[in-house]
Amino acid sequence: MKMESINPLAYLKQYHSNGLQYVASELVKIRNRPDIDPQIIVDLSTDYIFNETNLVNNNISKAELRMVINYAYLLEERNQWPSEASEKQIEKTLELENIIKESDDPLKQSKEITSEIISFNEQLLNSDQFKDEDKLPLFSGSSIAKGSLDYWKSINGGLENDWQIINQNWTDTPDLESNKIDWGEVLVSDAKGAVKGFFTGLFGGNPLGGAAGGAVAASAVSLVSQILKDL
């Protein structure tokens, strides 16, 4: 069974990938090693979600959306959870994290991890532990986890994409693989940033914008901090 038929939020992964590409297209303009405040990445993530997607409720302002995305990023940065998340939802998100972290090299074992994410979705879909609406934050996390795996695998395997050029501009290493990026950390930031962003987005009636934006911000900061090593 295809993941799209299991996960009702499977389409979120494309917004996430496009958002990361937008952030990279802006950061690549900075030629010399910068001193980047993570809030710059939050701003870029907000710009993309607000201006380039249909995930945003017309009643929310850009400043309000930024608060939603920034709160999700800060929760992930501090390893905290939204008060609205139940213990069962947190446990299920940590189960998704473990699927990613159990591999020493998740990008090279993407097929196996994808299979486990599909199983995660099947179990969640059929679970009677959650109401349907309580499954949605978790489906947002698993959708973006799969999209993250595909996106970063293509980035790490390419040589002429914006993220590789950013690495070349800012460091002495020729590519991301030589920089020994912990891709498991980046992937987990994506998945958990999505779940937390879904919850923070509920405040403004924009859980999907919050999920996509929270994931983009959290994972982009994770990668940039690893590239620079001292963000």
pLDDT at residue 65 tops 60:
yes
Q: How far is CA 139 from CA 4, 39, 47, 146, in A?
A: 11, 27, 24, 11
Burial 140-156 (b: 16+ CB within 10 A, else e): bbbbbbbbbbebbbebb
**Nearest by Cα to 140 from 41, 209, 227, 52:** 209
- State the pLDDT at residue 231: 42
Domain boundaries, the chain: 3-228
- Residue-wise pLDDT for 83-120, tens only, equals 999 999 999 999 999 999 999 899 999 999 999 999 99
| 78-92, 118-132, 164-178, 179-193: the lowest-pLDDT one | 164-178
Residue linked to tokens 């097929």: 111
Query: 11 is written with which tokens?
Result: 């389409």
- State the pLDDT at residue 229: 82
- State the pLDDT at residue 4: 56
Residue linked to tokens 């446990």: 91
